Structure 1
Amino acid sequence: MRPNRSGDEPVHARTPLRMRFWLSLWGVLWMVAGTVFFIVVDEPVWAAVTAALAAITAVDMVVVLRHIRQGPHFQPGRSIPPYEPVRQDDEPPGPKRLP
């Protein structure tokens, strides 16, 4: 059973970091292969585009690895409850009521 939503997901959104890592690794491999291919067929513009995409994807992979290594704060398990919603100072705790 999944925990209830906390109501502030855009602020404290969680992503499956391991899946993002493997997808970025897959993207780096394909972009490097594309860069090599376009260099071999003498297409410098497309080679530059795929090299730039490979670099962007590699940076994303490094950021994901950094978040994974920082621990469960950035990749919580099922046993960690969702974050508390951000409340205004004058707002009482509990469900919101419509006017």
Structure 2
Amino acid sequence: MSPMRRTGSEPVTARSALRMRFWLSVWGLIWAAAGTVAFAFAGREGWAIACGVLTLIITVDMSMVLRHIHQGPHYQPGPDVPPYDPDRG
């Protein structure tokens, strides 16, 4: 099977957005952690707690993204499976 052969109605250049989501999570984690520290030093407990909660949410999301990346590619139908055309009715 050639690598350019399509097996469904997906775009020819379809790619997973997991790596982009990972790097955006890293960027968000840096800013949320910095915000937590900065607001804690400034004596703004409410904002420090909000940034801390956001840091926790980003960490959980990042761990899920890494889990999906490490799982690798999942089942893709072969050339003998016709493209699925969703019911538009």
TM-score w.r.t. length of structure 1: 0.62
2:5 pairs with 1:5:
no
Hey, what's the Cα distance between the residues in 2 that align with 1:67 and 1:45?
Answer: 33
Gaps of 5+ in 1: 7-13, 88-95
The residue matched to 1:5 in structure 2 has which SS?
A: coil
Aligned residue number for residue 64 of structure 2: 63
Gaps of 5+ in 2: none
Q: Select the structure that is richer in helix.
A: 2
2:9 touches 2:85 (CA, 8 Å); kept in 1? no
Could you list the runs of 4 or more consecutive aligned residues of structure 1 that deviate by over 2 angstroms after TM superposition? 3-6, 84-87
Q: C-alpha displacement at 1:68, in angstroms?
A: 0.3
Q: What one-letter code is carried by the residue in structure 2 that aligns with 1:85?
A: Y
Report how many residues are paired.
76
% identity of equivalent residues: 47
What is the CA RMSD across the aligned residues, in angstroms?
A: 3.3
2:19 pairs with 1:18:
yes
Aligned residue number for residue 90 of structure 1: none
TM-score w.r.t. length of structure 2: 0.69
